[in-house]
Amino acid sequence: MKQYNIHEAKTHFSALVEKAASGEPFIIAKAGKPLITVSPITKQPPRPRIGFLKGKITIPSDFDSIGREDI
């Protein structure tokens, strides 16, 4: 895996991102010490399913006052 120092990575950022997106991961180093690995995202995280519990749960009418001592 190719390694780039921070200055070089900043200078060629767009080209390096394109390479990583096409499947060529690389390492960014500071003073010769590897800091991070940049690699493509292979699978998108699932989107939250809004409303999937609709009709399956009920919220008690006193929900806002649960646990309050002044009631």
Ranges of each domain in the chain: 1-40
Question: What distance lies between CA 36 and its chain's CA centroid?
Answer: 14
User: Does the 1-40 domain belong in CATH 3.30.530.20?
Assistant: no
User: 């806002």: which residue's tokens?
Assistant: 64
Q: pLDDT tens string for the chain (71 positions)? A: 999 999 999 999 999 999 999 999 999 999 999 999 999 988 777 888 888 888 888 888 888 888 877 65
Q: What is the pLDDT of residue 41?
A: 86
Residue 36: strand pairing partners: 28
| Residue 37 DSSP SS3 | strand
**Cα 65 to Cα 63: distance, rounded to the nearest angstrom:** 5
pTM of the prediction? Answer: 0.57
Q: What is the pLDDT of residue 71?
A: 55
